[in-house]
Chains A and B, each alone.
Chain A
Amino acid sequence: MPIIGEFSELYLFPNGLFITIQLAVVSLLGSLVLGTVIALFRISPLVPLRWLGGGYVEFFRNTPLLVQLFFLYFATPYIGIYLGEPDTFGFRAAALGLTLYHAAYVAEIVRGGLLAVDKGQIEAARSLGLSYLGMLREVQLPQTFRAVIPPLGNIAIALVKNTSLAATIGVADLLFAGDIVESRTFRAEEAYAAVAVLYLSLTIPLGLLVNYLEKRMIVAR
């Protein structure tokens, strides 16, 4: 009976892993898009856009992610915002929180990459008759993304690990599965070792992917 009782909890790990992957993919894509937009705001010729971008980065980078998640999960209904039905609320709050937080970091990295592109190229593109947006799309952004792949890889790995904070707002992710297995079996060492190994199974391949992309981009350059 104890053996069966313990193994009966194991289904929780694949379920939790699946939720963690979903959360990481959604938040990573979201923060890449949002972060790039914020970075463009920050180098925009329009002053109000620069202020908006700067304010965004300072706010989300300088408050703890856990506080942001608690706010989104517990406080938003009080100000009339419902992120979803009760059964989807937790996942959406976690995905939104992770996106907003990591977009601030992505924005800073992309901004650095944009500024690193040689001024001469930008001037050349504009003098050839490209509009500002055309120049961004054809000249400045492609070079930027090549340069920022290693730091973006770091952010992606940090994001995968930070998804574990979603367990604190009731999202049944990988850490949540570990918590439940631990409390039912009293075997903390096995439960959390399994959780750590499963996180590694996500972050190590991600790191290898980043290395591969980095090498390919250098060849292309």
Chain B
Amino acid sequence: MRGSLKTAAVALAALFVVAACGGGAGTGTPAASASAATGTAVTSTRPKLELSSYAYGIQTKGKLRVGTREDNVPFGVKNVATSKFEGFDVDIAREIAKAIFGNEPDIDKFIEYVPVVSATRIPTLNENKADFVIATFTINEDRKKQIDFSDVYFNTGQKILVKKDNTTIKDVKDLNGKRVCSAKGSTSEKNITAAAPQATLELQDTYPPCLILLQQGRVDAVSTDETILFGLVKQDPNTKIVGAYFSAEPYGIGVKQNKNNDRNGFVDLINRTLVAMIQDGRWAKSYKQWITPVSGDEKKTPDQR
């Protein structure tokens, strides 16, 4: 069984290489250009890892536990048709898995997805239910006290969503005296209060109810991270995003703190993977696949504005 799997893997790998050579740059299938972009020959041999590192333990066990969201378009989504996870966050998780297990053709066999929601992200790490959490996780000082973060892999900020025919709200200052919907207890809510103290807040549990209130004219605007607003505009094309960023939301990958030397070198391995992904274009390719359809722009690095 094991032998036949290996044969299949090698056969698949050979196919990829042939496709990559035959297709030429930019015209190959997505799978082919992915393996071409990594620049390494596909083999089933494992990367050499430090014996004392946390990643070595994962390699030995053969499973990487990834905490991500199931309903967060376009970052972490469980596809109902295929029951596979997909999205920008999931792409990055798979690349980290490849840094541990090698360039496996079906890397999902080595990943156990642990579904998280906003409130369970930190407990999932601290109760050791996942090796890392990648779930549009904003890096901030309060959270840094409880967990470690990787380098920034995605930058966004807070913006404003209004109806398409609205001409009075152009910037965050215009929210003063207006009714604004946001999620209860979110950083978005606090940012609005700080930037427009005279705004009246309407607080809901999630953002789809905010969109309903906007459509019915019961609030004048919805405000949160631009990436979430992209999703709302996609749902209702009669809305538009206005203004400049009035907060910075840098996303990082969360890891349990290495207090008992039980996460040795893990954040480093993740950071090295992120740097490699940005340098060799894998990051830009995932951005183009998942973010460009909703944002309309293309980026080569997370820092690009």
Contacts and interface: CB of A to CB of B under 8 A. Distances in A.
Interface of A: 74, 77-78, 86-87, 89, 168, 170, 172, 176, 179-180, 182-184, 186
Interface in B194-213: 200, 202-205, 209, 212
A74 B209 contact: yes
- The DSSP consensus for interface residues of chain A is helix
B52 interface: no
B216 to A, nearest CB: 5
B133 interface: no
Interface of B: 119, 142, 146, 179, 184-186, 190, 200, 202-205, 209, 212, 216, 218-219
Contacts of B184: 170, 176, 179-180, 183
B218 A183 contact: no
Nearest to A77: B216
26 contacts: A74-B209, A77-B216, A77-B218, A78-B216, A86-B202, A86-B218, A86-B219, A87-B179, A89-B218, A170-B184, A170-B203, A170-B204, A170-B209, A176-B184, A176-B203, A179-B184, A179-B185, A180-B184, A180-B185, A180-B203, A183-B119, A183-B184, A183-B185, A184-B185, A184-B190, A186-B142
Contacts of B185: 179-180, 182-184
Contacts of A74: 209, 212
B116 to A, nearest CB: 16
Nearest to A76: B216
A72 to B, nearest CB: 13
A183 B219 contact: no
A87 B202 CA distance: 9
A66 to B, nearest CB: 12
Nearest to A171: B203
B194 to A, nearest CB: 13
Contacts of B216: 77-78
Which 5 pairs, one residue from A and one from B, show the smallest C-beta to C-beta distance? A183-B185, A86-B218, A77-B216, A180-B185, A74-B212
A96 to B, nearest CB: 16
Nearest to B186: A183
Contacts of A87: 179, 200
Contacts of A180: 184-185, 203
Nearest to B204: A170
B56 to A, nearest CB: 33
A180 B248 CA distance: 22
B202 A170 contact: yes
Nearest to B184: A179
Contacts of A179: 184-185
Nearest to A180: B185
Contacts of B205: 168
Contacts of A186: 142, 146
A37 B186 CA distance: 44
Contacts of B209: 74, 170
